[in-house]
């Protein structure tokens, strides 16, 4: 048995991990085109407009509005949907913090609801039970690029007349049946931050089929909606590069899917390890590849597993932390004087107050503490890197008795 790198052995991967994103001649040409146009603002150019039209066509949506980041996309969607003071918005605690803080930016209250373990997205049945007269919207997240149960959630929302804003920041190009995610909710948001499948360094998109919501979103992001609007515009340079990155998105997603299939096969049957499988009938795009580990079978904890893989040169991580544990929610104070939690327009009964205590959401707690491990499988990583991942995982699992001791 090979000695673990953690115990002084030779690491499986010593070459370093491929960088992401890789930018080439096409992106360079797009940047040069913008420079030569002597215009850097979307207000006066064609690139961002074209990027919006091309993204809307890619998704199968009527309207797309490009914004400066994913948080701005969520905020714009909430503002366009009319969410505001005294409203509750249901969000999962397993996500990046911006899903919840965007709600605070619109002066509304995030209400966490636990996830269901298979897709690790909001549990539609738990959502149905948590709706109150103040619930105005729901923000489901397709975590790590695995589509959540969006059809069931849309049915819950339809029955209660609620707005759904899909947070598709991990899921550009993911599908449910023949339909892309980001076309189910009434108005939906994407991040194009550096690490995302559609990477612009910084950027975001709001999409909708509703002309009224589109007009309000467009106004809000560019200082022309009443009563309040702002400047969340995407710069022209990002629009031009976004068009190139969008033209490569399907090929990049296919590379992620090939890498995922490789690992699915290579890791199958290892004790204490199970790869997360996409829901049948859906296409996952693997923003991260998720392993579920069983510490009882392995004899050591998730943190040790991650440390051992990293020592082998594999970029593994323990993934997201539960958002409801963030200090912001402990202090219930977003704006310095308790607002919006103490807003006079917000007066739930004690039983209806949102829970922000540590152990409130057992599924999320358990998977963040003990089970989920994230692996990076983005291109240009390919079979060689995936072989290293598989070798390293096998090496760590085979050394479990030693690690347990
Ligand atoms: C699920 C999710 N939502 C929203 C965001 C916010 O996007 P941004 O970082 O572009 O503001 C992120 C980002 O990183 C995210 O992972």
Residues 396 and 286: their CA atoms lie apart, in Å, by: 23
71 C-alpha to ligand 1 centroid (Å): 6
298 C-alpha to ligand 1 centroid (Å): 33
- Whether residue 405 is predicted with pLDDT greater than 90 in this model: the reply is no
pTM more than 0.75: yes
163 C-alpha to ligand 1 centroid (Å): 20
- Whether residue 351 is predicted with pLDDT greater than 90 in this model: the reply is no
Domain boundaries, the chain: 25-244
- Which of ligand 1's atoms lies nearest the C-alpha of 193? 10
**Interval 23-81: pLDDT, tens:** 999 999 999 999 999 999 999 999 999 999 999 999 999 999 999 999 999 999 999 99
**Residue 1 has what pLDDT?**
78
**Residue 199 has what pLDDT?**
98
Look at ligand 1, atom 10, and give the residue with the nearest C-alpha: 70
- Which of ligand 1's atoms lies nearest the C-alpha of 143? 1
195 C-alpha to ligand 1 centroid (Å): 10
**Interval 173-223: pLDDT, tens:** 999 999 999 999 999 999 999 999 999 999 999 999 999 999 999 999 999
Of 170, 130, 189, 74, the closest CA to residue 361 belongs to: 130
Look at ligand 1, atom 15, and give the residue with the nearest C-alpha: 96
**Interval 370-391: pLDDT, tens:** 999 999 999 999 999 999 999 9
77 C-alpha to ligand 1 centroid (Å): 14
Look up the CATH architecture of domain 25-244.
Answer: 3-Layer(aba) Sandwich (3.40)
- For the Cβ of 61 lying below 6 angstroms from any atom of ligand 1, the answer is no
**Residue 337 has what pLDDT?**
87
- DSSP letter string, 130-199: H--TTEEEE--B-GGG----HHHHHHHHHHHT-EE--B-TT-TT-EETTEETTSSSSEEEEE--TTSSS-
Residues 372 and 59: their CA atoms lie apart, in Å, by: 29
**Interval 92-149: pLDDT, tens:** 999 999 999 999 999 999 999 999 999 999 999 999 999 999 999 999 999 999 999 9
- For the Cβ of 199 lying below 6 angstroms from any atom of ligand 1, the answer is no
Residue pair 204/77 in contact by the 8 Å Cβ criterion: no
**Residue 226 has what pLDDT?**
76
User: Of 48-57, 96-105, 318-327, 350-359, which gets the smallest average pLDDT?
Assistant: 350-359
Residues 202 and 299: their CA atoms lie apart, in Å, by: 41
Q: Residues near 32 by Cβ (< 8 Å), separated by ≥ 6? A: none
Average pLDDT, integer, range 274-290: 98
Sheet with 163-164, edge to edge strand ranges: 109-112, 88-91, 135-138, 163-164
**34, containing H or E segment:** helix 25-37
Task: Tell me what percent of the residues of the chain surpass a pLDDT of 90.
Answer: 94
pLDDT band, residue 225 (cuts 50/70/90): confident
- For the Cβ of 233 lying below 6 angstroms from any atom of ligand 1, the answer is no
**Structural tokens at position 256:** 């992620």
Residue pair 24/215 in contact by the 8 Å Cβ criterion: no
264 C-alpha to ligand 1 centroid (Å): 27
- For the Cβ of 120 lying below 6 angstroms from any atom of ligand 1, the answer is no
Residues 213 and 219: their CA atoms lie apart, in Å, by: 10
- Which of ligand 1's atoms lies nearest the C-alpha of 71? 11
How far does CA 270 lie from the centroid of its chain? 28
- DSSP letter string, 199-212: --SS-EEEEES-HH
């Amino acid at each position: 048995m090979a000695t673990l790198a953690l115990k002084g052995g030779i690491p499986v991967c010593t070459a370093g991990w491929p960088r992401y994103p890789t930018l080439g001649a096409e992106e360079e040409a797009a940047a040069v085109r913008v420079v030569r146009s002597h215009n850097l603002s979307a207000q006066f150019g064609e690139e961002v407009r074209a990027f919006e039209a091309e993204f809307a066509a890619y998704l199968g949506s009527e309207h797309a509005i490009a914004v400066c980041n994913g948080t701005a996309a969520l905020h714009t969607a909430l503002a366009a949907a009319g969410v505001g003071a005294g409203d509750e918005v249901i969000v999962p605690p397993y996500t990046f913090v911006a899903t919840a803080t965007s709600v605070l930016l619109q002066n509304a209250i995030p209400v966490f609801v636990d996830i269901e373990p298979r897709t690790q997205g909001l549990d539609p049945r738990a959502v149905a039970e948590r709706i109150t007269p103040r619930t105005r919207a729901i923000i489901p997240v397709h975590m790590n690029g695995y589509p959540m149960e969006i059809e069931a959630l849309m049915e819950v929302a339809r029955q209660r007349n609620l707005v759904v804003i899909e947070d598709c920041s991990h899921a550009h190009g993911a599908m449910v049946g023949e339909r892309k995610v980001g076309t189910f909710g009434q108005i939906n948001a994407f991040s194009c931050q550096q690490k995302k499948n559609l990477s612009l360094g910084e950027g975001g998109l709001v999409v909708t089929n509703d002309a009224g919501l589109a007009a309000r979103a467009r106004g809000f992001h560019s200082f022309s909606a009443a009563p309040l609007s702002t400047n969340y515009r995407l710069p022209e340079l990002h629009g031009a590069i976004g068009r190139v990155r969008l033209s490569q998105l399907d090929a990049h997603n296919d590379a992620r899917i090939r890498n995922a299939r490789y690992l699915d096969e290579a890791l199958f049957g290892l004790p204490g390890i199970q790869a997360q499988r996409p829901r049948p009938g859906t296409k996952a795009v693997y923003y991260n590849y998720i392993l579920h580990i069983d510490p009882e079978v392995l004899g050591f904890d998730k943190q040790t597993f991650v440390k051992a893989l990293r020592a082998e040169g594999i970029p593994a991580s323990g993934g997201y932390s539960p958002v409801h544990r963030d200090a912001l929610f402990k202090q219930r104070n977003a704006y310095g004087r308790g607002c919006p939690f103490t807003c006079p327009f917000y007066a739930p009964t004690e039983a209806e107050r949102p829970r922000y205590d540590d152990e409130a959401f057992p599924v999320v707690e358990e998977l963040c503490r003990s089970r989920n491990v994230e692996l990076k499988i983005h291109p240009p990583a390919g079979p060689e890197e995936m072989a290293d991942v598989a070798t390293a995982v096998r090496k760590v699992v085979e050394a479990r008795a030693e690690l347990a001791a």
